[in-house]
Structure 1
Amino acid sequence: MQRLQVLKDSFLALDVVQQRLVIGSALAAGGILAYFVHKKRERKSIPLGEGWWGAGVKPLSEDPKIYSFKVETSDEEIQDLYERIDKARYTDPLEDSAFHYGCSSTHLKKVVSYWRHEFDWKKQVEVLNKYPHYKTKIEGLDVHFVHVRPQHHAHQRVLPLMLVHGWPGSFFEFYKIIPLLTENHDDVAFEVICPSIPGYSFSEAPHKKGFDSLAASRIFLTLMERLGFSEFYLQGGDWGSLITTNMAQMKPECVKGLHLNMFVTRSGYKELLSLVIGPYLPFLVGFTREDVRRLFPFFEKNVWEILRETGYMHIQATKPDTTGCGVNDSPVGLAAYLLEKFSTWTDLNNRGLEDGGLERKYTLDELLTNIMIYWTTGSIVPSMRFYKENLNTNPDKRIDGLTNVFVPAGLAAFPNELMHCPESWAKNKYKNVYSYTFMPRGGHFAAFEEPQLLADDIFRFVKKVEKL
């Protein structure tokens, strides 16, 4: 009798175990099913939205025509510049300060002297007009762009490519890379479109609050549609990286590929864990030796340097009109403000040089041409407002910050970029990375600094996508 009770208890215990196994299996299956349902429902795109940024009330219709445009100047414009330069006031720099306190007035005087007595703006206007310029009205704004078509060669595939600049750059950043992309006699060449972000250079500034990267992306998608392109490639850095990423999120069916030379991703527990483990066991978190070299020590190389270099961003993201008033009124002040960025963001080590290393990668004519684009168009203030419009809320909480990118992506990691993003981090957002390249040299202004390196990487990426 006792044995029967023991057997009965054993069967009951076994039944409980089986029940638990069944329940556990069901929960596991449910979890797996829920995961795949979530992946299936994951947002693949974001809404286009709509906007009107022109002055006054939105009209019933908008002129969709595209007009030729030409950069012009005048003797009066140049004379006004000279008079303002001649009245500039300087403060002597601290001894041995180089560019650690910003643009050294000692070297600034030399640049300004060249600007005043040797720089030929009329000649540079001719350089700007080397490529065809156009304007078209979109969402109430005159949108400026450069459009360069390649000479067609037999058996050559011509692909449309939009290049988008950032701050404090302009469409002029791409003037050295355009011929490398359009005059290539290989099996691929690009038809290049370089727009100016509204509020920058020759694109009209928004008249209403709220113009952010999503609005710029929608306008540029309209521009590509107006030019007759249903499929195209995109390339960008700085603001251009965010804008082109947004374009790929809005219309992934139109974007054949997205190439970036600056890219960031959302931070989370995986990234924090990789920062702890990465220096010691990098392979466990998907880091390469080069990732480790560029990232660590993390606080010194990334957090501290970002804090040192982003004071401008906090000002422009809060009170751009106040700061902008001064640099919009003084050409020398504007030059100091912009030259400092082209010094430090090209290479942080330039801070220790008396001349800021400005002419290591650029000529004074190139730097002053970019400054003159801002000066003659009065676009420094609206370009600074773009920070406030985009940073009014937490970017990670915006719809584009919560949405991944599924189009083919090519990522070029330049060693002197302000912050390094490993491929393992980038893949948290860019889900279809076709290429990730550790570039051998170069900083933030990739197309301006190293046009050949960037062009070669764009071609390699596109050929992978096109399966050539």
Structure 2
Amino acid sequence: MWGKILIVVLIAWLSASFFARVKNFFFSTPQLPLIKDELWWGPGKPYANEDTDIKPFTINVSQTVLTDLNWRLSQALPFQPALEGVQQQYGINTNHLRNIIDFWQTKYDWRQREKLLNIFPQYTTSIQGLKIHYIHVKPKVTKGVKVLPLFILHGWPSSAREFYDIIPLLTNPTGDFVFEVVAPSLPGYAFSAAAVRPGLNPMEIAVIFKNLMERLGFHRYYLHGGDWGSQVVAAMATLYPHKILGTHSNFCFVNTPLAHLKLMVGSFFPWLIVEDDIRDKVYPLSEKYMRWIEETGYMHIQATKPDTIGVALRDSPVGLAAYLMEKYSIFTNPHWKNLDDAGLTQKFKLEDLLDNVMIYWVTGCITSSMRIYAESFNERYNSLKLPQIPTPVPSGCARFSHEVVYQPETVLRQKFPNLVHLADYEGGHFAAAEEPKILAKDLYLFVEKVEKISGDNKGTR
């Protein structure tokens, strides 16, 4: 008899333990990780004679770099012929690539483009040992128009160049308020210095940019980010909610066990999880996951061996252009892989895309830019569980139809419980460059809602 009782007790204990672990795995909220504002990411002795002055910056690439580039383009080996009947399904089509390189060599004028890239005021300052480059545009406003600070951040394989068409829309008042825009380059991207030691993940980058905004005199401000920028601004809003008026993104997604469980449940009972009008963008999961697997091989390489692929891309401007241009095609519209010209000029100007390639080339940043994947897909960063901690500040999401990850509101609210704005548009991953008017309008709509909810926010600077 006592044996049976012990067996029952043991089974009950094991069952309770199992369900407690399951509950903890899916539903527990981790504690905020320990934040250290003083971590040093640059060379030399920490904080020894660090120059923290804000200095004007102008892009001025040496002629030596441009001469070397022209030589490398002219010496490129013949391309492997494309397969018959294949467009971009095997990667960038070399017939299409040849047209891009010809345009680069014969029609693209860097010195003219350099003037364009210098139209906005740019600066650098040292934060935690890293020279950080940023654009800072103040609007010209009339009396009665409220100026709100807005921090905007790009991702990979982009640069601050992605925001050149949207900045004028954000800083030109059309209503009761307008934005003062700060748009930095991520550490290790473009004209921002790269860390000299491992560990600079999105949380640590969030600390750097919080410190940047403090140095500029902003105490409270709005955020917007796309791609990796969305992860950094989400981290900023989670870590420093008292400093953030609201956070907005065109790449909102939640990557937690509960989010994946909800999506799996929705495969069988979609009415529980997804709105009817976007069901085809979320399901069937098999189709969405297959696209994810097909298009994210680069992610696995960059998350494991970024320095190896970086050697090849740093040595060949043709290889760099092929690698970056392919991403702009596939992530803007997956159907463009079936087009001979990859569809790029349907939404972009070729010279604008080459501006971005050139920024990567002349700064030699391709390897350091890819390291953010290795710093994010590892046990150290995953153990922080920052993406699983809800962001309490008012949040807004612009979902574009061809986005790689498209999630329903019930999933998004797990990370963004204070989701005050959610809108759907036609377009792809690089919304700021592809649809600047739509994205700017959505940002205004979001901030208008937050301002009405919170009243007159004082003390932004």
Fold shared per TM-score above 0.5: yes
In structure 1, stretches of 5+ residues that fail to align are 1-34
**AA paired with 1:458?**
L
| Cα distance in structure 2, aligned partners of 1:44 and 1:76 | 48
* 1:156-175 superposed matches below 5 A: 156-175=145-164
| Percent identical residues | 41
Q: Which residue of 2 aligns with 1:67?
A: 55
Q: Which residue of 1 aligns with 2:6?
A: none
Q: Which residue of 2 aligns with 1:454?
A: 439
Q: Secondary structure at the match of 1:113?
A: helix
Whether the aligned pair in 1 keeps the contact of 2:238 and 2:389 (CA below 8 Å) is yes
In structure 2, stretches of 5+ residues that fail to align are 1-23, 456-461
Once the two structures are TM-superposed, the CA of residue 63 in structure 1 deviates from its matched residue by 2.4
Among candidates 295, 301, 317, match of residue 309 of structure 1: 295
* 1:194-209 superposed matches below 5 A: 194-209=183-198
Q: Which residue of 2 aligns with 1:29?
A: none
Q: Does 1:324 align with 2:315?
A: no
* 1:50-449 superposed matches below 5 A: 50-89=38-77, 90-268=79-257, 271-276=260-265, 278=266, 281-285=269-273, 287-300=274-287, 302-393=288-379, 397-439=383-425, 441-449=426-434
Once the two structures are TM-superposed, the CA of residue 453 in structure 1 deviates from its matched residue by 0.6
Residues 99/42 of structure 1: CA separation in 2 closer, same or farther (3 Å cut): closer
Residues 178/46 of structure 1: CA separation in 2 closer, same or farther (3 Å cut): farther
Q: Which string of whole-angstrom CA distances, capped at 9 and with x for unpartnered residues, describes residues 206-257 of structure 1?
A: 1111111112111100000000000000000110000001111111100000
**AA paired with 1:88?**
A
> What is the count of residue pairs matched by the alignment?
427
| More displaced stretch, 400-409 vs 131-140 | 400-409
Q: Secondary structure at the match of 1:291?
A: helix
Q: Which string of whole-angstrom CA distances, capped at 9 and with x for unpartnered residues, describes residues 99-147 of structure 1?
A: 1111111011111001001101001100010000100001111000000
| Cα distance in structure 1, aligned partners of 2:157 and 2:433 | 12
Q: Which residue of 2 aligns with 1:25?
A: none
Once the two structures are TM-superposed, the CA of residue 47 in structure 1 deviates from its matched residue by 2.7
| Cα distance in structure 2, aligned partners of 1:42 and 1:206 | 28
Residues 304/42 of structure 1: CA separation in 2 closer, same or farther (3 Å cut): closer
Residues 253/204 of structure 1: CA separation in 2 closer, same or farther (3 Å cut): same
| Cα distance in structure 2, aligned partners of 1:385 and 1:44 | 24
Q: Secondary structure at the match of 1:463?
A: helix
Residues 72/405 of structure 1: CA separation in 2 closer, same or farther (3 Å cut): same
Q: Secondary structure at the match of 1:428?
A: helix
Q: Secondary structure at the match of 2:387?
A: coil
**AA paired with 2:275?**
T
TM-score, normalising length: structure 2 = 0.89
Whether the aligned pair in 2 keeps the contact of 1:153 and 1:185 (CA below 8 Å) is no
Q: Which residue of 2 aligns with 1:22?
A: none
| More displaced stretch, 312-321 vs 42-51 | 42-51
Residues 274/339 of structure 1: CA separation in 2 closer, same or farther (3 Å cut): closer
Larger Rg: 1
- Give the CA RMSD over aligned residues: 2.0
Whether the aligned pair in 2 keeps the contact of 1:163 and 1:236 (CA below 8 Å) is yes
Once the two structures are TM-superposed, the CA of residue 275 in structure 1 deviates from its matched residue by 3.3
TM-score, normalising length: structure 1 = 0.88
Residues 270/346 of structure 1: CA separation in 2 closer, same or farther (3 Å cut): closer
**AA paired with 1:212?**
N
**AA paired with 2:434?**
E
| Cα distance in structure 1, aligned partners of 2:398 and 2:290 | 23
Q: Which string of whole-angstrom CA distances, capped at 9 and with x for unpartnered residues, describes residues 59-92 of structure 1?
A: 3453221000000023322221111001112111
Q: Secondary structure at the match of 2:327?
A: helix
| Cα distance in structure 1, aligned partners of 2:323 and 2:30 | 43
Whether the aligned pair in 1 keeps the contact of 2:145 and 2:173 (CA below 8 Å) is no
| Cα distance in structure 2, aligned partners of 1:373 and 1:273 | 41
**AA paired with 1:398?**
L
Residues 396/211 of structure 1: CA separation in 2 closer, same or farther (3 Å cut): closer
Whether the aligned pair in 2 keeps the contact of 1:395 and 1:401 (CA below 8 Å) is no
Q: Which string of whole-angstrom CA distances, capped at 9 and with x for unpartnered residues, describes residues 390-414 of structure 1?
A: 1122765423123211010001111
Whether the aligned pair in 1 keeps the contact of 2:259 and 2:414 (CA below 8 Å) is no
| Cα distance in structure 2, aligned partners of 1:65 and 1:96 | 57
Q: Secondary structure at the match of 1:194?
A: strand
**AA paired with 2:280?**
R
| Cα distance in structure 2, aligned partners of 1:385 and 1:246 | 18
Q: Secondary structure at the match of 2:388?
A: coil
Residues 191/45 of structure 1: CA separation in 2 closer, same or farther (3 Å cut): farther
Q: Which residue of 2 aligns with 1:6?
A: none
| Cα distance in structure 2, aligned partners of 1:238 and 1:93 | 31
| Cα distance in structure 2, aligned partners of 1:110 and 1:347 | 20
| Cα distance in structure 2, aligned partners of 1:65 and 1:270 | 44
